[in-house]
A and B are shown apart, each in its own frame.
Chain A
Amino acid sequence: MIPRPSIDPRPSTGAAGEGELVARLGCPERRRPSAFVFIVLATSLSVWTRSGADQLEEARTLVRALASVGGVAGREGPVRAAIRRAAPSWASFQEDNLGNLTVSVGSGKPGLLLLAHMDEPGYVVTGVTDQGYLKLQRLTRLSLSPLFDQFHMGQPLLIQGRRGTIPAVSVVYSTHLWRGNAAPLNRPVVDEDLFVDIGARSAADVEAAGVVLLDPVVIARRIVDLAGGKLAGPAMDDRAGCAALLLLLQELEPAKIHGTLTVAFSAQQLMGGRGAGRLANRVEADDVLVVDAPLPGGARTAPGKGPVVAVPGGTEGFSQEIYNRLAERAARTRLPLQNATYGTAGDQSAFVGKTRVLPIGVPILYTGTPAEVVDAHDIVALATLLKSIAEEDR
């Protein structure tokens, strides 16, 4: 028996209960930041109201809050709720029918749009077996690691049900039962191999637990603190970008904005920038900065060494003018910048050829795994740079 999908007339309750599922771990990284960080922070203190250490702590808190909820493409509700909770009280968000969140400050021209995507790759429930196991389908159009399904096998998962989050595990072979035989994991794992166990042993149990078809499924939110202000966990791409934009909003002095600044959190980036496509038609902007993770496997960048920026001049159509302005600003404020490789897929695809656009972000290690690594220093530096750009007289 398979429960039929039904329309729930109630408004989304967001990420009910998900916060409790984040591993409460120690903070061994609360150590002295490197000397370079002191220089960076000392030079940028004049434009910030908070101390550098407070900003780092706030950046870490924001990343944790945003990465500790799931946001499969098209089902970004929990991330939206987390963003609303973390935003300053003056921020009055608009939400369009694709789920993009925007907040605008100032008026008139020039228009600057900063956007970061809320969604992450994941699954939706596509079936329920008679024994009560869930079957899944991956939900993304952009390419993923061929090991994506393996990363989810034998791991704790979360179902974002309509009545709250339901913990689950994905079934894996027992090592004892396969010793001496061809090891079953020595072959590619595909999503059809995944069976999800919520503790139900019949389709009726599944229904009673509140799981229905199309409910989104993500890996459990295990976020750990690494050395020197780094964090590792799922969906740092692009919650780190969202965190930088929230940090910017928290520190922004609206009166200083020249023209109109729009900060946007986009939906369905992984479906080919569908949310950004909507924004491109909704928001009038002369300049667009897409805050996202660079392509892995491109130019070598490292967490902790500053924000990353796309290099114009190729066939991608990225703006040299914005790049020059950023580089000049970064040099003047002594913020480090790393050149990175960005493709044309993703949110930038909605703007290339229509308006000046440049991708920017923070470097991420192990992109596409459930253990993406980011550095809070880079997030603070990126927010500092974006604030500087938003307040400059163009």
Chain B
Amino acid sequence: MTGRARTVLLSLASITAAVLAGAGDIRAARPGREGGSFGILEALINTPGVSTREQGVRDRIRSLLPAWARPAVDAKGNLLVTVGPERAAKTLLFIAHMDETGYLVTAIREDGGLDVKAVGGFFETLYEGQVVLVHAAKGDVGGVVPPRPNYLDPSAVETPAAFGKEAVRVDVGASSRAVAESLGIAPGDPVTVPKAFQRLYGSFGSGRAVDDRAGCTALLVALRGIDPKTLRHKLIFAFSVEEETGLDGAQAMAETLRPDLAIAVDTFVSSDSPLERPAFAHAILGKGPVVRAIDSSNITDPALVDRVLNLARQAGIPVQYGLTRGGNDGSVFPEFGTPDLALSWPTVHSHSPVEVINERDLDGLGALVRAIAERW
């Protein structure tokens, strides 16, 4: 395969999708579809959780678990829900990461300005001259990322790469370090854009940290759908920390857990955008979840890919497969003998404030995770 994802479309599934989409389902301003996965996604996206500061997301996920779930938190901070027969022949591990890219406060200057460091990879100009929130101990404090000093001069565009790294600060309007501290701000505080998931026309939605709250949503949808008493396999649903900073949460799990299969549920960065080249990573938004067969961190056994495609076909879930860039939490498992399978939905504008997702893809991904959990 040269990169162009193929769409596996089944007539029955198409009809189902069409019925789900419905004629009345196309106004951006419409209320959320009852039972759709965006309801969960919105709650998770609006909760900030910059890598190493995932507490809020962990609490939110805990509140969305089914009543039977008995969540545990490991030493690293990963949240795990284990279910199914204890002596099952197989153990499947599903992982989605709770953390997101953003900034952390590193120091408060004498003049009240905040030094920050970027966490994870993103175009830092997306924060230039924009409002942010510092998530401090006493509550959120608004701030601004000041633009480059010469932002009004024609020369500003001559050195666009000059913005970023040490040049990035946050101004919370404090005139001194003491004022900033009186607001509860301290080094280590996370900084994000104001998080507000926004539904768009059709079944689209957008926000910061669709990556990987959508993965968390798919796991929650599956957990809420399964009947623990009917499971054949032992299942571990893991919500991991620190994926964006190097898969550290998953690494901690890989060193202690020995599942038979690690299934990472994370973004498929798609080129389905007028600014990208369609020759690579071209999974179409709205055409179903994606089996992320190859990425920068992992090459999945083709037999595993085929098995997922067959399962999706049996379950009537339209599904795509392809390859893209980026790593996934499952990729730290093969060195311990556990194969890695990555499942995704297609997203554009990765790591920007406006990652876009289609609800049908997320509904399908939740159904696919559940189908694997019940029928693998």
Contact with A along B124-142 (1 / 0, CB 8 A): 0110111111001011111
B156 surroundings in chain A (CB, below 8 A): 145-147
A209 surroundings in chain B (CB, below 8 A): 26-28, 201
Q: Is B336 an interface residue (CB 8 A)?
A: no
Q: A177-B276, A209-B27 are in contact. Are A226 and B147 (CB under 8 A)?
A: no
Q: Is B29 an interface residue (CB 8 A)?
A: yes
CB <8 Å contact, B274 and A133: yes
Closest chain B residue, CB of each to CB of A367 = B152
Give the interface segment out of A40-48, A197-205, A266-274, A337-345: A197-205
Contact with B along A149-189 (1 / 0, CB 8 A): 01101111000000010111111111111010001111110
Q: A146-B153, A166-B201 are in contact. Are A366 and B146 (CB under 8 A)?
A: yes
Q: Is A369 an interface residue (CB 8 A)?
A: yes
CB <8 Å contact, B274 and A129: yes
Q: A166-B28, A177-B269, A188-B157 are in contact. Are A171 and B196 (CB under 8 A)?
A: no
B146 surroundings in chain A (CB, below 8 A): 366
Q: Is B228 an interface residue (CB 8 A)?
A: no
User: A145, A168, A193: which has the most chain B beta carbons within 10 Å?
Assistant: A145
Chain B nearest CB from A231 CB (Å) reads 8
Q: Is A370 an interface residue (CB 8 A)?
A: yes
CB <8 Å contact, B129 and A147: yes
CB <8 Å contact, B138 and A28: yes
CB <8 Å contact, A150 and B200: no
CB <8 Å contact, A183 and B128: no
CB <8 Å contact, A173 and B275: yes
Q: Is B308 an interface residue (CB 8 A)?
A: no
B194 surroundings in chain A (CB, below 8 A): 23, 25, 222, 224
C-alpha gap A145/B27 in the complex (Å): 35
Q: Is A227 an interface residue (CB 8 A)?
A: yes
Set B173, B281, B354: member contacting A177, Cβ < 8 A = B281
Q: Is B240 an interface residue (CB 8 A)?
A: no
Interface size on B, residues (CB 8 A): 77
Q: A176-B269, A369-B129 are in contact. Are A167 and B276 (CB under 8 A)?
A: no
CB <8 Å contact, A176 and B324: yes
Q: A175-B350, A297-B152 are in contact. Are A150 and B173 (CB under 8 A)?
A: no
Chain A nearest CB from B285 CB (Å) reads 8
Contact with B along A19-42 (1 / 0, CB 8 A): 001010110110100000000000
Q: SS class of chain A's interface: helix, strand, loop or mixed?
A: loop
Set B129, B175, B324: member contacting A371, Cβ < 8 A = B129
CB <8 Å contact, A366 and B196: no
C-alpha gap A227/B113 in the complex (Å): 12
B199 surroundings in chain A (CB, below 8 A): 167
Closest chain A residue, CB of each to CB of B204 = A199
Closest chain A residue, CB of each to CB of B348 = A174
Q: Is A324 an interface residue (CB 8 A)?
A: no
Q: Is A294 an interface residue (CB 8 A)?
A: no
Chain A nearest CB from B267 CB (Å) reads 8
C-alpha gap A23/B126 in the complex (Å): 18
C-alpha gap A224/B326 in the complex (Å): 33
Q: Is B352 an interface residue (CB 8 A)?
A: yes
CB <8 Å contact, A154 and B141: no
Set B130, B173, B198: member contacting A230, Cβ < 8 A = B173
Q: Is A228 an interface residue (CB 8 A)?
A: yes
CB <8 Å contact, A370 and B28: no
A-B contact count (CB 8 A): 241
B376 surroundings in chain A (CB, below 8 A): none
Closest chain A residue, CB of each to CB of B208 = A156
CB <8 Å contact, B202 and A172: no
CB <8 Å contact, A167 and B198: yes
Set A31, A147, A195: member contacting B151, Cβ < 8 A = A147
Set B112, B152, B198, B324: member contacting A145, Cβ < 8 A = B152
A71 surroundings in chain B (CB, below 8 A): none
B153 surroundings in chain A (CB, below 8 A): 146
A155 surroundings in chain B (CB, below 8 A): 126, 130, 353-354
Set B26, B143, B354: member contacting A208, Cβ < 8 A = B26
C-alpha gap A188/B162 in the complex (Å): 12
Chain A nearest CB from B162 CB (Å) reads 10
CB <8 Å contact, B144 and A366: yes
Set A183, A367, A369: member contacting B123, Cβ < 8 A = A183
C-alpha gap A21/B200 in the complex (Å): 12
Q: Is A223 an interface residue (CB 8 A)?
A: yes
A173 surroundings in chain B (CB, below 8 A): 123, 275-276, 349
Contact with A along B342-362 (1 / 0, CB 8 A): 000000111111101000000
Q: Is A291 an interface residue (CB 8 A)?
A: no
Q: Is A233 an interface residue (CB 8 A)?
A: yes
B145 surroundings in chain A (CB, below 8 A): 371
CB <8 Å contact, A199 and B202: yes
Within 8 A of A (CB), among B191-221: 193-194, 196, 198-204, 206
Contact with A along B265-296 (1 / 0, CB 8 A): 00001110111100011000010000000000
CB <8 Å contact, B201 and A131: no
A23 surroundings in chain B (CB, below 8 A): 194, 196
CB <8 Å contact, B139 and A197: no
Q: A151-B130, A183-B123, A227-B173 are in contact. Are A197 and B200 (CB under 8 A)?
A: yes
Q: Is B172 an interface residue (CB 8 A)?
A: yes
CB <8 Å contact, B139 and A26: yes
C-alpha gap A17/B175 in the complex (Å): 36
Q: Is B154 an interface residue (CB 8 A)?
A: yes
Chain B nearest CB from A137 CB (Å) reads 17
C-alpha gap A255/B130 in the complex (Å): 44
Q: Is A373 an interface residue (CB 8 A)?
A: yes
Q: Is A232 an interface residue (CB 8 A)?
A: yes
CB <8 Å contact, A197 and B356: yes
Contact with A along B150-167 (1 / 0, CB 8 A): 011110110011000000
B202 surroundings in chain A (CB, below 8 A): 199-201, 205
Chain B nearest CB from A65 CB (Å) reads 17
User: A205, A227, A233, A373: which has the most chain B beta carbons within 10 Å?
Assistant: A227
Q: A17-B29, A171-B275, A232-B131 are in contact. Are A226 and B142 (CB under 8 A)?
A: yes
- Nearest 4 A-B pairs (CB), nearest first? A224-B142, A199-B200, A226-B173, A369-B129
Residues of A near any B CB (own CB < 8 A): 17, 21, 23, 25-26, 28-29, 31, 129, 131, 133, 145-147, 150-151, 153-156, 164, 166-177, 179, 183-188, 193, 195, 197-201, 205, 208-209, 220, 222-228, 230-233, 296-297, 303-304, 365-371, 373, 375
Known pairs A147-B129, A174-B273, A179-B325 / 7 extra A-B pairs, C-beta < 8 Å: A169-B356, A176-B351, A183-B123, A185-B125, A188-B160, A368-B151, A371-B129
Q: List 20 A-B contacts (CB under 8 A).
A: A28-B139, A28-B140, A29-B173, A129-B274, A146-B153, A150-B125, A154-B353, A166-B28, A167-B198, A167-B206, A169-B206, A171-B349, A175-B351, A193-B275, A199-B203, A205-B202, A209-B201, A232-B143, A366-B147, A371-B131
